[in-house]
A and B are shown apart, each in its own frame.
Chain A
């Protein structure tokens, strides 16, 4: 029996942040992780390895497109083992870094599958057998989410992959089908396309990256339409069969064929929370049927000494959301009056071009009948974007007409994921048009596009014709 003040289940970005913050505030902390490596999905099979592969993809793409600027490279020689080990090295570097930080903070790491025994006890299982019991005063559940599997699909066949499998980079299929045109599917499409696969994307909704505004996704759609074999929107995969010749997939959709056969299929239709997998009811914590755990703004569940953070408490399932929630939970446990009151959580698709948005989307504003002002700046008028060889891209800023403050921003283009930070800060600070437009942005930069979008709304732009003069 291990006794501790704070037990944290799960060592992803949320879990290790919660554990470290609580330890820094003077608590004795135990961090429970079912895998050998710390860092959770994000570091091991998510954000980080995918970004390593996306960087590889970017180099390949830029080299192949550079003949237009007068420099022609030979076809690249791709050593897939080298690509894989570069990715693995980065992951190892980061995960061992976390281990070192845990050690420096005297956070005790327990490897094993944590399940609640009672409101104060967690059983640690290895291979289904209890090997240890942790008794805690307070617990933070950071057990995350798992890939959603569609029943009936032949996942037992190695050619049907989830995102974890796809990141393994077993082989480069000639024809790859991606089921689900969300962030994860499109990022993997970018990687495999650069490495030589012919990509087909199938999406149930009427647009890719359904939670973003359509006009923000459109520059990406335009580019990948040329690169990929097919993009089927409004299309359902009605069945999937593993044949010797490949994976036979039947479609239901206006523009899709009845069926097609692929060398590999990536199913990326979202993630499901793990709330049902750790016996939370033994602690009296309520999880709904899908596995989400309800919490208040201090990340407390319905049970006083149990907190929950990250994917397991709701959308958006993003590491940076989990990290902020983790700090709140740890601080509340240590007696601080913390609370999660961020106005927005930015989202980024690291595709090429990137898609990023923060605050409210235009469709949300329309649905809710909010009176808003909008400024849209096409990157074709950005000197910096043109000089890096890219003319697509768009920045859109949204303002509440009532308060005059910025309430949303959407960007598609190179480095959109970096650029979105300015708008997120502006939303938190309650900036209005003039605050952003009158802030001097360096020229020529991509960051200017944010100011230009705002100037389009304000009517003060000079690099384009303003839609209305003010």
Chain B
């Protein structure tokens, strides 16, 4: 026997009044369940609404350009099946035969913690709505948080007892629900084995916080953690879902918990409080392609974020007259010896570090002691096809300009081949990063933690410099010095820069 069914707009999320931009069926069409019937477009997305049932389109109640809302009639379908399969979100034309065992269940506010009087800021359902279990029914807001209260059972909203602005607490009646599905309620207390006369009459909603009297049915956590670890987590107030276990098969170990807590404590508790950047669907604006970051990108990205977040940076700029250095360099070049400006800068930095030992130091774990290094290892930032790497040139103080030039050349080519070994990256005390070969007037380098300072070099430029009488064309090299303000204050920074400047200006000082 054919029956007529109304297909209404199901719950499509937070949208009211959505435009119909397309109607995909016409009267007389035979459609299958899940065939698209209309296309909607909101300001955020467009979506096709499928038919929940199969049948013949008898009537179309909407047209292109209409604005519709959840529950609005879209089309009428003539169907042969008895309608048992009408999807949850559609109403049927047949009056819903009230099953004899359906009952009205009051749903009240569950235990929401230490709140007595909480504001109702939103009522998400209206009488007549068909609710699914766990569907949010109201939103509460205290001075600490807002929370949605889910329905403990599925059913039809019979009446609503509260409105926006009301103050409610544990036990306040929210609404009455007509249901015949009490057994699936997680909030109800299961009845005894064969208990003959105990229809549940009051249902408390299941809550994020837990009043769940069935005891045995607490959802097992996805986290792989033994009872003792769960106990420790409870004592420390840690959510295990946030921890990546390092034990066998991802098991969360005692050490994982402690490391997690230690990190939070060391970061002053702010680590996890950094607001995330918005997630945007870029494909809305044009063609896109998703490409994974290289391994080096990922590693250096993590390290750079840590450095940038942990170190209070100050960056100081200067320019140095390198006429003399350039003259010497050109002389050597004409004799067949190739020296890059970088080797002079490395030597000059070592001289400056000797005069200012705090620039060649690190803070210890406690953050209360400075570890001064008696060796002069310089990290050199190198651009490679795979990303930024910082190999270390050791004992710069003990090597000649020529030796440094040769070593730099070799290291750079190994780096570009991606063949550096872990030890090549270790042990640096100060880092130099140079964009001199490319351009730019200045930039602000990020300190390579746990080092405390970094020198950035931009492209040298011929500039008119006033010598007291005239403007003299002078080759000026831009320097940017970033340092950790916890270790180095501005005066020290300026003095280091001044010394470095005078050494580079008169390269004979390198010999001192």
Contact = CB atoms under 8 A, between A and B. Distances in A.
A205 interface: yes
Contacts of A222: none
Nearest to B252: A430
Contact of A180 (B191, B194, B212): B194
B222 A295 contact: no
B249 interface: yes
A302 B112 CA distance: 10
Interface stretch (A87-95, A96-104, A106-114, A339-347): A339-347
B191 A294 contact: no
A354 interface: no
Interface string A192-226: 00000000000111000011000000000000000
Nearest to A313: B213
Contacts of B224: 403, 405, 430
A338 B171 CA distance: 25
Given A203-B194, A314-B190, A296 B111 contact: yes
Nearest to B227: A428
A269 B194 contact: yes
B201 interface: yes
A290 B198 contact: yes
B194 A296 contact: no
A343 B201 contact: no
Contacts of B147: none
B226 A272 contact: no
With a 10 A CB-CB cut-off, give which of A180, A183, A432 has the most chain B CB atoms. Answer: A180
B215 A321 contact: yes
A175 to B, nearest CB: 22
B193 interface: yes
Given A180-B194, A272-B195, A288-B201, A295 B171 contact: no
Contact of B235 (A148, A337, A428): A337
B226 A180 contact: no
Most buried by A among B192, B201, B235: B192
B204 A314 contact: no
A315 B216 contact: yes
Contacts of B213: 292, 294-295, 313-314
A302 B111 contact: yes
B215 A270 contact: no
A294 B111 contact: yes
A432 B211 contact: no
B71 to A, nearest CB: 27
Given A429-B226, A432-B249, A302 B171 contact: yes
Nearest to A343: B220
A369 to B, nearest CB: 12
Nearest to A184: B193
B160 to A, nearest CB: 22
B201 A270 contact: no
Contacts of B225: 430
A150 interface: yes
Nearest to A300: B111
Given A290-B198, A337-B234, A295 B216 contact: no
Interface string A405-422: 101000000000000000
B230 A340 contact: no
A344 B218 CA distance: 8
A421 to B, nearest CB: 14
Q: How large is the interface on A (under 10, 10 to 19, 20 to 34, 35 or more residues)?
A: 35 or more
A288 B189 contact: yes
Nearest to B199: A289
B414 interface: no
Interface residues of B, number: 39
A148 B191 CA distance: 11
A288 B201 CA distance: 8
A341 B218 contact: yes
Contacts of A204: 194, 196
Give the residue among B193, B200, B235 with the most A Cβ atoms within 10 A.
B193
A430 B231 CA distance: 15
A401 interface: no
B195 A148 contact: yes
A52 to B, nearest CB: 23
Contacts of A174: none
B215 A205 contact: no
Contacts of A317: 192
Interface in B141-199: 170-171, 189-198
A430 to B, nearest CB: 5
A295 B235 CA distance: 20
Most chain B beta-carbon contacts within 10 A, residue among A151, A316, A345: A316
Contacts of B197: 150-151
Contacts of A341: 218, 227, 230-231, 234
Contacts of A340: 215
B210 interface: yes
Given A292-B213, A314-B215, A315-B215, A211 B171 contact: no
Interface string B218-254: 1010101111001100110100000000000101000
Contacts of B227: 341-342, 428-429
A314 B189 contact: yes
A295 B237 CA distance: 20
B194 A289 contact: no
A343 B222 CA distance: 11
Nearest to A405: B224
16 contacts: A148-B195, A180-B193, A182-B194, A204-B196, A269-B192, A270-B191, A272-B192, A272-B198, A289-B202, A290-B189, A294-B204, A314-B189, A315-B192, A316-B216, A339-B234, A403-B224
By Cβ-Cβ distance, the 8 closest A-B pairs, closest first, are A270-B192, A314-B213, A182-B193, A269-B194, A270-B193, A292-B189, A297-B210, A337-B235
Interface of A: 148, 150-151, 180, 182-183, 203-205, 210-211, 269-272, 286, 288-290, 292, 294-297, 302, 313-317, 321, 337-345, 403, 405, 407, 428-430, 432
Given A289-B200, A289-B201, 18 more contacts: A148-B192, A270-B191, A270-B193, A294-B111, A294-B213, A295-B211, A295-B213, A296-B211, A297-B210, A302-B170, A313-B213, A314-B213, A315-B192, A317-B192, A338-B231, A407-B220, A428-B227, A430-B251
